[in-house]
Amino acid sequence: MKKALKGVSHIFIFLITANFISYLIRLIYARNLTTIEYGLFYAVVTFISFLTIFKEFGLNETLTKFISKFLVQKEYLSIKNSMIIAFVIQFVATGFISLIIIIFADYLAVNYFHSNLASPVLKLLAFAFWFDSLTVV
């Protein structure tokens, strides 16, 4: 119980710290960007965030179940293989989604966001979306 409480308190502290840093970043953006640029940036961030639904496919939850099962059965090779398969699926899926966003960034910028300024932001955040798949599994 003591170990669980310690773990929860660490997570809570990191969550509070991350939210504080996020608030400071938003404050910096709000002061240094125009209202249109600020709104456009967060519209693109929200668009990319919506696509995270398709990033994991429930693989992380599935890994939790099967890793526990494989640990009990002492099937360590199965754990490794499961993690590799989940990583490859997520890496390829996010790479494909990112590539589609990058290819259609100019079209999305003009027809969805109604601003050419969204194109480089879309491309940058699409790359970050793909890069984030390296940290998930």
pTM of the model: 0.75
Angle formed by the axes of helices 35-50 and 118-132, nearest 10° = 40
Which H/E stretch holds residue 46?
A: helix 35-50
Q: Which residue has the tokens 């496919």?
A: 57
Question: Per residue in 57-88, pLDDT tens?
Answer: 777 788 888 888 888 888 888 888 888 888 88
Question: Per residue in 16-51, pLDDT tens?
Answer: 999 999 999 999 998 998 999 999 999 999 999 888
